[in-house]
Structure 1
Amino acid sequence: MYANPVAYVFSCIFVLIAHIAMLLNVYFNGNYTEVRDVAVLGAAVLILDISYFIVILLFKQTSYVLDFLLILVLNMSFIFQSCFGKVGFDVKHLITCIVCLASCKAGYILCRNHKLLQDKKPYIYGGVIFVMLIVFVFTSPEDMWIRIGSFAIQPSEFAKPLFILACATSIADQQKKHKILTFSVVYENLALLALTAIVCLIQVKSHDYGSLPTFLSIFAAGFLLRICYPKAKFSKKKLIGVIALVIVFVLIGLKYAPEYVQHRLHVDIWSDKTGDGYQQSQALIAIAKGGWFGVGPGKGFLSNVFAFENDIVFATISEEWGLIYALMAIFAILVMTSVPLVNPARSYYHGTISACVCAALIVQMALNIFGSCNLIPFTGVTIPFISAGGSSLMVSGFMVGMLMAAQSPSFKEPKHKKKEADVPTWRWQE
């Protein structure tokens, strides 16, 4: 373990105090039938805290800051989700939080060695295309989920970490320029641009417009780091041309977007409070009703509105817990995404991963909050780590593991089989 033992202990104490303070708020201000409900919830939160504190010691990392921020946010989310409408015990969300933590460690292990991932570049591209084909074949504009019994999976979520790796695994090829007509181009950049086009077209075909900004933000972060790569010599004229091309495509997309998207862009939620403006108008009313300190855990009315636990979860938290708690949760996520940027990654490859992950998480969070507050058209995307949803939590956890890998990378050379010439050719004498 590389972490400072004193800092580790104080971090554990800080997380425990934060969660205990929330549980005391539930006890004194919450809507529950029996004290046992609060006790069971508290026991689950503290057991998960302590268990994760022990588990992370099994992983050798330069820093455990992201681990503590992740468990802080996840158990905040578990407490929120268990109190909406009435204090209880959200077993499903607890399970998804545990899966998120396991997925985080999987992302950390799998993304430490950039040489290994660079060798797997064709499989990464193939993985993105395979996932998007599943989206195209098995989902519909009316339902972007694949349902298996009581489980529901949103396949487009699983394309995000693969797409991030696709943006990072060709970084070292930026110096390999080729002449096409009068232009010097990098083949890998053209391949990534084609992959991005495939992703965007399938998302549009599936009417999943809410995820488009997330994928585009990942591409933008990766593209900027490509042109900033040492000795890449990307001209300013090309950069301006690419930006102009993106703006043209956005304007065309807005002009020829489907009718329901056009309606969302121009809807007046207060004149259509029972139609397309219902969720946003109710969300704004709930935020105003909650004020700074909330009406109390489990005492809000927004829990009766569709998708209160994911699409408009910021407003649901603001109503029951107050705007202060909602902003604290968002601030914790922002700190989680800023840590890898404040502490530079150990390689350019891992730095690109960090930038792409941070872009994805921040854009997704902004879309949810601004959409709920009617600052932008309502998209219905989730807030990472806070909203309910197994696919979103699992993928978000994996992406935090990618951030951890950037802070504690592995530079081991891939093992090669012994060459035939190195094998002894002598034989035993008879």
Structure 2
Amino acid sequence: MTRVPVNPALLRWARKRARVAQEDLAVKFKKLPEWERGETKPTLRQLEAFARAVHVPFGYLFLDEPPNESLPIADFRTVADTANFEASPNLIDTLYAMQRRQAWLREHLIENGAEPLAFAASARLDDDPGAVGREIRRALGLDGGWAAGVRSWQDAVNELRRMIEQVGVMAVINGVVGNDTHRRLSVAEFRGFALTDLYAPLIFVNGADAKSAQMFTLAHELAHIWLGEEGLSGFESLLPGGTEVEDWCNQAAAELLVPSRELRECWMQARRAEDPFGALARSFKVSSVVAARRAMDLRLIERSAFFEFYERYTDWEHKGGATSSGGDFYNSQNARVGKLFATHVIGAAMGGEIGFREAYELTGLRGRTFQDYAGRLGIMLS
């Protein structure tokens, strides 16, 4: 049986990159400890299976040394000014999948005579973020108090995502890589990202996050599109003292979701509630910590009160108090694919611009599932 000469350092790198302990992976690959020490070498079939298990491109394992992988977009994640950690395969694969989706739609729109989106990259860092937040609100057609009239956080997320797609921005929410439920995305690693473009901007929200947090991430990443600054967001981005871009986007998103005038009006009653920030959160369909941060920014509460509440909230959140639940398969697909993107892909396939195999690859849906989803969008394929 032919053994493959592979650098043990690459095997260790690939396993650590996938964030899998050696003892866990050794359940499937009994000789893994020996491979990593260079005492024995895997067969070609074993190496292929190993690459699939750790989600690493097979060719990487034949390099002389581990590659220096860098994120294809700016990294705005911060944790108390410490260095950002290496991206996981799940994040990297998600980023590349969304970039492929964006590249296809951009080319498709340009070929069909689309005009650039006027709002994309229309703002600057020296613009008032509050004013830009109100501008975004007008562009989306959000009426005053709209969130209070929505039944649940899930409905609010769906409505906001629908409005975002109506103005031409792909809005994707997914908690796994594609449709692979075994590859869950980590909220601890990132909450969302924005891919800017004048024709096909895209925002991605980590669907593993709580619905109330998804609301703010949608708004935050949309502010990135207005600013023309693509990048990855996450960690404790709501705390004061982040990067200039993140602080600006936070302020614009806060005004979009929790307008200062409406908050001041609600505060007089909410402040008397047992849980004032929870009351505000329910009214505006945001998380309690977003409501508290907004109250601090408007000087309705002291900074010390915000940080005291923030510590309690994050302690509760880390214990599992804020999690996302699953949903109907086709509702999930609508969030993972999006009506904006799916409509263009399905139309291109029906018009002969692309084959159905390419349409399947672009959407991640195949055969009957693809046909049924198209039907849900009101498009009959047969």
TM-score (norm 1): 0.26
Larger % of strand: which?
2
Larger % of helix: which?
1
TM-score (norm 2): 0.28
- Which has the higher Rg, Structure 1 or Structure 2? 1
